[in-house]
Structure 1
Amino acid sequence: MTTASPPPIDFAALGRAELADDGGRALDALLLVSADIVDATRQAVAAGYAVMPTGGLTSAIGSFDYKKESVADFAGIVAIRPKGAVTADIVDAATPIEHLRTHEVALDRENGLVSAGAGLTFTQINAVLAEQVGPNARVLVDLTSIGSAFVGGVVATGAMGPLRMRPSMTLDAVVLADGGEARVMAGDDLDLVEGLQGWTGMVAAARFRFYDVPPSEFGLVLPVQGSDIDAVAGLLAYLEPWTQVHLPGAGGRLGNGDTVLNGVELVSRDSLEVFVEHAQDPARSKAQGLLQSCEYAGADWLACITGWSENSVDDVLFSLLDPETETIGGVMIEYGVGFSSGAEMDTFRAIREGAPDLARTRARVRPEGRMKPWTTSTDVNVSVPADAGAIADVMAAYADYRQAVRTLARELAGSGVDIELSAYGHLSPHGIDPHHRVTIFADEGLETALAAARQAVLADKRTLIRDLLHAAERGGGRVTGGEKGAPSLVEIARAAGGEGRMPEELRRRMGRARAAVSSAPTNFNFRAPDEMKCAQT
């Protein structure tokens, strides 16, 4: 029996891709949606096109500084999007991973492994596991966007979520499509794909280890005062034992006892207020209730704690209480709000993700009479011991950054340039990364003023990164990179004053990434920053 060759792709008939680079410049690119990523990249390279992934629904997969001269030697750019599906198609467990199409899943129950095409979401994969293995089986890729982000995009960006685990923590193998035969990468070679944004090729499929988690999902919201750094640090240090995730063998049960905290995240009060203005019930009503909790507690942040447990949310709350102080790490629970499995958790997630979603949306939309907004978000993951002093040192660096941005906003008030700051993100001691998104709006014609404000914010951001590097070193912690993989490493190196000033672990990762990118086909690495395409000097 022979397999028919895939039909030739008529590139001249493809539509245009609606894409822009980091600076908002439109790309001159074609869009190709395919269920066979290996064949799509092979034909695109053979036809002389530069190739970039798109549609992974992660925030960095399509970003780069677009210059037409960088693709002058190619027939053009083809943006390839994995074809998705409403539900995953389950194929025979013996199907080789390199033969999976973008919407297919192969389940190896005996070995605790699940393989999936690049166009599926982790919600879809977990639905297959729930049906075929059991309701508590899941892949521990812990993105808050598991219902939208594609497998290919998550692996390519190295995206992390509340657990602060890179995909490679549970990743067994990846299929890389770089214009030739499919390449199956495993072990240390996963570093040649994960977090490299498609600069070495496109992710066609991935195989993950899956695990069994406790049956009940819960959420707990505690109002806290962001300016009280010591109180926030004390809370995080206290919660650290419950945030440790001990991975068993593939297919096994998490060994953390009755309760596992899989996330401690931040939502600022002002972000919540914006969410209430735009949200629909029931999320709107619940969010209004959380705003009241902030008001009663005199708080400007919400610490959103999520996890799995054998117990009800009320019992979880009791188990987290310090019996001597009747607080959770010094935080009074009088105004805390609990959410349990099902519709309540869906509402909770809508609120928790509403703030960053609205901030990102505002940064993309051009208001009438104003120029396209400029935006930047912090992304430095800092892991520190369960020590309140070390955590407070990290949080103080963010407080200084917020103060610097707000001071600049006041100085520019009434000038036609407005600055908004939205804070949200991760507070787990294993990865403190509370994203601070700054968005600048300027009236038309104020290009020079916008550029000056942008440079001022970037200078403050570089100071923040240097402060975080110093705080981690002082507190016995480490900076582990960021959620955007290699782009995060590049940003840290630039802020530190050069690669030689980075921590040794990050220098090693940067060097390995550079070696992979610089040796990749130019059809893919054309988007990479200069630091990744040439030998270190």
Structure 2
Amino acid sequence: MLLSAPPLPESRLYPAIMTMESAAIDFASLSRAQLVDDGGKKLEALLLVTGDVADAVTQAVGQGYAVMPTGGLTSAIGSYDYQADGISGFTGVIAIRPKGALTPELVDAHTAPVDLKTHQLCIRREQGTIIVGAGLTFTQVNAALAEHVGGNARVLVDLTSVGSAYVGGVVATGAMGPLRMRPSSTLEAVVVADGCGARLLAGDDLDLVEGMQGWTGMVVAAVFRFYEVPPAEFGLVLPVQGTDIDAVAGLLAYLEPWTRVNLPGAGGRLGNGDTVLNGVELVSRDSLESFIEHAQDPARSKAQGLLQSCEYANADMLACITGWSEQSVDDVLFSLMDPETETIGGVMIEFGVGFSSGAEMETFRAIREGAPDMARTKARVIPDGRMKPWSTSTDVNVSVPADAGTIAAILTAYADYRALVRDLAGQVAQGVDVELSAYGHLSPHGIDPHHRVTVFADLGRDDDLEGVRKAVLDGKRTLIRDLVRATIAGGGKVTGGEKGMPSLVEIARAIGGEEHLPDDLRARLDRARQAIAAAPANFSFRAPAELRA
């Protein structure tokens, strides 16, 4: 359901189907796609890059090809996974990537969404909306808003890959960033192509696309609402002891009022007073140390300063807080502080480090995102003399009340999982190594601290690798079950994960089947199943077996 923003006037809801004469595409002459997913799996397909996705899809489907939507980054692990017998009836597989541009082309505000090319955008300032092609990034989108609307206007999609992930891919995966808001929170409409031209979907029908990984069609363009945010951006890093679960839970519960985002009408200014916290992120000390080994200045020297803060505070983790404010970072620090205890939610600020707008925030983001980038990169690279690494990451997003007890129960489940992995790391045979990186989201409105486990094994240690893999996956399933129980018992809500429908499928498998899911999640899976059943097989061939039943 869309939020309470002005709907597009009826005169703006252009014809749902776009048809046009176009040159025939010789798909057989295309080059092989040089792409892999996040797990290093090669993508077996031919690659077409085009600014007219709807036409390309229509021709590909018409010639009997299976279609694999591809964005600025390849999708999450497993989303390109399909069996050979699933494509045996097709001419082949075409990976279609929307054409991007170094500088987006701004077109007339009256341009119909279905007529927009993938490298174009148009701004409807009076409506508070921007229509963007699938091949643009949100960095480009917000730069256009800053230039043509105002420096504080932006679309509230804040995933960490805003400078590289394409708009179409973000909508298709349902990706979230530190703000913990899905694209649909501010999405007015989406243009999708499935072989029958371009169709404009809005309202509840957004569920037919968001988080569906391109199993029901390919995103061509999207209509987003934009908002005005406070002018100053800031970052605040607090060293915390991860084993002191009650202290971390108390901090998160204390920060909840500032993390609550009240969306105004399209084009309006965010509320929440002078300060809005748009992220509370976790970075483990281990991850910070690994980042320092490979980083360059100025990020390296700043990271070394944060590591020193950890040492002084006897902490093993960093809580990285970001936000927008009318105040300076020093004033924000004092506004967040409890005057009675002179702490922020019980956490001493003596060793805290502040970052302000501009270059400092770019350095801050480089450090904060360095940990996950490092972990993902190591999971893809095959070391000399070793097998291909095996890796898995947790992805269960939960929203809970500002209750320290409930938050502590969730954090305890993660602490138990970390302990299991570290025990395994100490017990594995020689020639096998287990690494754990913890990073990610701690906002009470979206607790999802990713725990990535990567296992390295020497050549010939297949049995040892398989034994560790099974033990890790057993522990991960236990973690998911514990998270679901703790969330429901505390009056919270399991909302899925950052990989959209694949995350929801993984949760259902871990807890013993869909019948054990909360009603709202079970309904989402049912609707996804119906959408996939109605979609052309040219797209749905990649969907999990549970959703193609």
Question: 1:199 maps to what in 2?
Answer: 215
Q: Aligned match of 2:505 in 490, 493, 500?
A: 490
Question: 1:227 maps to what in 2?
Answer: 243
Q: Do the aligned partners of residues 518 and 106 (structure 1) sit closer, same or farther apart at CA in structure 2, a change above 3 Å counting?
A: same
Conserved? CA contact 1:56–1:154, under 8 Å: no
Conserved? CA contact 2:71–2:168, under 8 Å: no
* 1:272 aligned counterpart, secondary structure: helix
**Structure 2 unaligned regions, length at least 5:** 1-18
Instruction: Give per-residue Cα distances to partners, 1:384-419, cap 9 Å, x unaligned.
Output: 11010010000000000001111111110x422111
Q: Aligned match of 2:48 in 32, 37, 42?
A: 32
CA distance in 2, matches of 1:451, 1:355: 26
Question: 2:463 maps to what in 1?
Answer: 448
Q: Which moved more, 1:109-118 or 1:56-65?
A: 56-65
Question: 1:288 maps to what in 2?
Answer: 304
Question: 1:323 maps to what in 2?
Answer: 339
Q: Aligned match of 2:226 in 170, 192, 210?
A: 210
Q: Counterpart amino acid of 1:45? A: V
Conserved? CA contact 1:113–1:251, under 8 Å: yes
Conserved? CA contact 2:38–2:76, under 8 Å: no
Conserved? CA contact 1:60–1:197, under 8 Å: no
CA distance in 2, matches of 1:34, 1:359: 32
Q: Counterpart amino acid of 1:292? A: Q
CA distance in 2, matches of 1:515, 1:314: 52
* 1:110 aligned counterpart, secondary structure: helix
C-alpha displacement of 1:38: 0.5
CA distance in 2, matches of 1:19, 1:520: 25
Q: After TM superposition, list the pairs within 5 Å mapping 1:28-427 onto structure 2.
A: 28-57=44-73, 59-60=75-76, 63-412=79-428, 414-427=429-442
Q: Counterpart amino acid of 1:463? A: T
Q: Which moved more, 1:4-13 or 1:432-441?
A: 4-13
Conserved? CA contact 1:54–1:62, under 8 Å: no
Conserved? CA contact 2:37–2:77, under 8 Å: no
Instruction: Give per-residue Cα distances to partners, 1:493-513, cap 9 Å, x unaligned.
Output: 000100000111110111111
Instruction: Give per-residue Cα distances to partners, 1:265-321, cap 9 Å, x unaligned.
Output: 001111011111111111111001000000110001010000000000000001000
Q: Do the aligned partners of residues 182 and 387 (structure 1) sit closer, same or farther apart at CA in structure 2, a change above 3 Å counting?
A: same
Q: Aligned match of 1:472 in 473, 487, 491?
A: 487
C-alpha displacement of 1:55: 2.7
* 1:469 aligned counterpart, secondary structure: helix
Q: Do the aligned partners of residues 64 and 419 (structure 1) sit closer, same or farther apart at CA in structure 2, a change above 3 Å counting?
A: same
CA distance in 1, matches of 2:432, 2:540: 36
C-alpha displacement of 1:19: 3.2
Q: TM-score, normalised by structure 2?
A: 0.95
Q: Do the aligned partners of residues 467 and 409 (structure 1) sit closer, same or farther apart at CA in structure 2, a change above 3 Å counting?
A: same
Question: 1:434 maps to what in 2?
Answer: 449
C-alpha displacement of 1:53: 1.1
Instruction: Give per-residue Cα distances to partners, 1:342-367, cap 9 Å, x unaligned.
Output: 00000100110111001000000000
Residue 8 of structure 2 corresponds to residue 6 of structure 1: no
Question: 1:526 maps to what in 2?
Answer: 541
**Structure 1 unaligned regions, length at least 5:** none
C-alpha displacement of 1:59: 4.1
Conserved? CA contact 2:397–2:448, under 8 Å: yes
CA distance in 2, matches of 1:166, 1:80: 24
Q: Counterpart amino acid of 1:528? A: A
Instruction: Give per-residue Cα distances to partners, 1:326-377, cap 9 Å, x unaligned.
Output: 0000000111000000000001001101110010000000000111111110
CA distance in 2, matches of 1:61, 1:185: 28
Q: Counterpart amino acid of 1:458? A: L
Aligned residues: 531
Q: Counterpart amino acid of 1:477? A: G
CA distance in 2, matches of 1:328, 1:286: 22
Instruction: Give per-residue Cα distances to partners, 1:36-90, cap 9 Å, x unaligned.
Output: 1101111111111100111342642872333211100001111111111111110
Q: Counterpart amino acid of 2:292? A: V
Conserved? CA contact 1:245–1:260, under 8 Å: yes
Q: Counterpart amino acid of 2:389? A: P
Identity %: 74
Q: Do the aligned partners of residues 57 and 125 (structure 1) sit closer, same or farther apart at CA in structure 2, a change above 3 Å counting?
A: same
CA distance in 2, matches of 1:99, 1:48: 25
C-alpha displacement of 1:164: 0.8
CA distance in 1, matches of 2:76, 2:195: 22
CA distance in 2, matches of 1:334, 1:137: 34
Conserved? CA contact 1:61–1:157, under 8 Å: no
Question: 2:12 maps to what in 1?
Answer: none
Q: Do the aligned partners of residues 316 and 25 (structure 1) sit closer, same or farther apart at CA in structure 2, a change above 3 Å counting?
A: closer
Instruction: Give per-residue Cα distances to partners, 1:441-495, cap 9 Å, x unaligned.
Output: 1111112221221111111000000000110111111111001110011000000
Q: Counterpart amino acid of 2:408? A: A
Q: Do the aligned partners of residues 58 and 293 (structure 1) sit closer, same or farther apart at CA in structure 2, a change above 3 Å counting?
A: farther
Question: 2:6 maps to what in 1?
Answer: none
C-alpha displacement of 1:20: 4.1
